[in-house]
Structure 1
Amino acid sequence: MFHLLKWVGLFGFLALVLPVVAEEEIATFKVWNSKTKSYGNVSEILLQAEGYDVVIWGEEHDDAEGHKAQLDFFKKFTFGFPKVTLSLEMLEKDQQLILDEYVKNIIPERQLLSGSSHWKNFASDYFPLVKHAKESSSFVVCANPPRRYVNAVARKGMNAYSDFSNEVHHWIPEAHTLGQNISPVYQIKLSSMFQVDHSQDPKVSSNMPSPENMILAQFMWDQGMAESISREVYRSGRKVLHLNGRFHSDDEGGVAYRLKKMGHKVLVLSVFPEGKEEEGNFSKLGDFVILTKSR
């Protein structure tokens, strides 16, 4: 198969193979190309991805059809690009060791799933991606900073950094990077999200992290993931497919914007259920919008 890929080239190979499944893809979801302002199919995404370091799949975490679509897309991605890395917001950096042990067949599946805490839908919605990565000899990156340190920043702001041991800095971005490479659009979104008026309930107000610290915590997620992805691009030279909640990547979101400022070519996909779209705003969400459809 790889001799065929070498012979016809990636573009010719994808053009030969992918249209065969286009009808099935369109039956379950629709693909909007923001550049052409028209509907197309997954083959267009894969053809365009050839010229990019990173492809971001921005999801809604509870979109059941979206999870099916992303596994299908990842299988096509590994078929079209033999050397790729899967990067996941859903796994934290200090889980990398146990993840690598699973990929290298040192530990079985049950120990990976029970050996550390995971999102409640990890086994059903994200583990199939990890399993396919293993089967296709793809690398997997646990992209997110550990939640406990991000929570500390949400509570204490930058003062939390003075509490962290030297070992912790292996898992988190340096403090000075949190406020760098932020798009004005994203800053406005975050300010709007976290500026909640608790003036009528002082008890709640005293127990809630300040909006400023909540925004810093969001920056920590974004910078941490961007650094993980960038490091992998330079380390392995592989094309990276990164999965995160679409707030991190839609419309100059934190991860996508930071990666671009780091010098990477980033293709952004925004994926969510049909019926939630805002007519006329597709081009602002990403390079492609995938509208999943209920069966």
Structure 2
Amino acid sequence: MSRRILLIGSLLVALGVRAQTPEPGLFTADGRPASWTQLLEVAGAVEVVFLGEQHDDTVAHRRQLRVLEALQERYGDERPLVLSLEMFERDVQLVLDEYRAGLITEAQFLEAARPWRNYERDYRPLVEFARAHGWTILAANAPRRYVNRVSRLGREALTALSPQARAYLPPLPYPEPSDLYRRRFLKLMRGAGHGPMHVDPERLLQAQALWDATMAYTLAEHLMRQPEALIVHVTGAFHVEARLGTPEMLRRYRPGTRMLVVVLRPSADPLRFDPAQHMGLGDFVWLTPDH
């Protein structure tokens, strides 16, 4: 954990970023108050910015839009900017591209792209901002039907898919989850009361790992095509906390990728960093009101 906590401090020193007025609720991995300027300076020095959210946290979604706006203002003339979303699956990339290009209407896009139920409130502002400013938009996730197949039958069941279907997934076999991620996932399942006796927890873990691997492979693929890009990837916080999950899969697919993990976490007291709950969750931890 100490190496991850030191990462953000080392990067700030390397960039020569001076302390600024702290942004309310924004902290470094070890709990030091951080400024908006610090966050943006570090974001500009990496290739992928992970924004880990609780999916129903409306404050977090507004802050994500604020990040996009600031990156556009600061880096829009310097680097290609990319919005990557867990909320869309790779088999709807063509639909997303057609909407981004103005070839189809929004109604047609929504009918074909299988958006999440909270798309209108929480994710549409991100997509529309990116579209208005010419950002590439990536549908990053594995099709849910294939994730479900793994949860029912195991990862080996993917080999029965057609080459066309497998094109929506990372190369098989996809990487195994790390031991630390495995322990965190199984602890989460037990704590949340998931995993009834008829469900194999190992298969649930392998399904989770397929999500992580697919999103990581989507990011790696794009950086191989456009290495100068700055990608903002919006995803559930568990996929990125402690630089596990998707970030560690990305390191396997594209070693040396520079990345920044920002975890947005609801808290009863968003101005107080609790080491027992928040230490090392991300390079930055941004606490939001827990309503």
1:121 and 1:169 map into 2 onto residues whose CA distance is 28
Q: Aligned match of 1:59 in 40, 53, 59? A: 53
SS of corresponding position for 2:223? helix
Residues 291 and 217 from structure 1, CA distance in 2 versus in 1: closer, same or farther, beyond 3 angstroms? Answer: same
Q: Aligned match of 2:26 in 31, 35, 50? A: 31
Gaps of 5+ in 2: 1-14
Q: Which residue number corresponds to residue 229 of structure 1?
A: 219
- 2:280 maps to a residue whose letter is K
Shift of 1:276: 7.3
Q: Could you state the TM-score of these two structures normalised by the residue count of structure 2?
A: 0.83
Q: Aligned match of 2:197 in 205, 210, 219? A: 205
Gaps of 5+ in 1: 1-10, 199-203
- 2:63 maps to a residue whose letter is A
Shift of 1:137: 0.9
SS of corresponding position for 2:180? helix
Q: Which residue number corresponds to residue 242 of structure 1?
A: 233
Q: Is the 8 A contact 1:58 1:270 kept in 2?
A: yes
Q: Aligned match of 1:166 in 144, 163, 167? A: 163
SS of corresponding position for 1:88? strand
Q: Aligned match of 1:80 in 74, 78, 82? A: 74
* Aligned residue pairs, count: 266
Kindly report the root-mean-square deviation, in angstroms, between the aligned alpha carbons of the 2 structures. 2.7
Q: Could you state the TM-score of these two structures normalised by the residue count of structure 1?
A: 0.82
1:80 and 1:47 map into 2 onto residues whose CA distance is 9
Shift of 1:294: 6.4
Shift of 1:30: 1.7
Q: Is the 8 A contact 2:51 2:237 kept in 1?
A: yes
Q: Aligned match of 1:219 in 206, 209, 216? A: 209
2:190 and 2:290 map into 1 onto residues whose CA distance is 34
Deviations 1:10-60 (A, max 9, x none): x99x99xxx8xx79xx4xx5211226x421222211101222111100000
The equivalences for 1:170-181 within 5 A come to 170-179=167-176
2:211 and 2:87 map into 1 onto residues whose CA distance is 11
Is the aligned partner of 1:105 residue 2:98? no
Shift of 1:167: 0.7
- 2:29 maps to a residue whose letter is S
2:34 and 2:243 map into 1 onto residues whose CA distance is 23
Residues 93 and 70 from structure 1, CA distance in 2 versus in 1: closer, same or farther, beyond 3 angstroms? Answer: same
Greater Rg, structure 1 or structure 2? Answer: 1
Q: Which residue number corresponds to residue 287 of structure 1?
A: 283
Q: Which residue number corresponds to residue 188 of structure 1?
A: 183
- 1:273 maps to a residue whose letter is P
Q: Which residue number corresponds to residue 119 of structure 2?
A: 122
SS of corresponding position for 2:169? coil
Shift of 1:162: 3.2
- Percent identity, aligned pairs only, is 30
2:149 and 2:118 map into 1 onto residues whose CA distance is 25
Task: Flag as ranges the 4+ runs of structure 1 deviating above 4 A.
Answer: none
Q: Is the 8 A contact 1:94 1:171 kept in 2?
A: yes
